[in-house]
Amino acid sequence: MPRQSLRPFATAAGLLLAALDASAAELPRWLPAAPQNAPAGLAAACDAGKADACLTLAASRLRGAGIPADLAGALEAANSACQAGSAGGCALDAWMLQHGLGDEQNPTTAVLLYEQACDGGHAGACYELGLAREEGEGLNEVDPAGAAVAYQRACRGGDARGCGHAPPPAPARAPSSSSAAYARECEAGSPAACLNLAAMCEDGTGGLKRDLPRAARLYREACRWHGGEGCFHFGRLAEKGKGTEKSAGQAATYYRQACDEGETRGCMRLGEAYLVGRGTVKSASAARQLFQAACDHSDPDGCAALQRPAVAGAKLEEPPHAAPEDAPEDDASQPLDGL
| pLDDT value at residue 251 | 94
Identify whether residues 33 and 128 lie together within a single domain.
yes
Closest Cα partner for 339 from 187, 222, 171, 172? 187
pTM exceeds 0.85, yes or no: no
CB burial class (10 A; 0-12, 13-18, 19+) of residue 180?
exposed
Final residue belonging to a domain, choices 163, 197, 216: 163
pLDDT tens-digit readout, 265-314: 999 999 989 988 889 999 999 999 999 998 998 888 888 888 888 888 88
| pLDDT value at residue 55 | 92
Domain ranges, residue 300? 179-312
Final residue belonging to a domain, choices 132, 163, 194: 163
In a domain, 324, yes or no: no
Average pLDDT, the chain: 79
Number of domains in the chain: 2
CATH number of the domain encompassing residue 136: 1.25.40.10
Residue 86 has pLDDT above 80, yes or no: yes
DSSP label of 298? T
In whole angstroms, give the CA distance from residue 284 to residue 316: 9
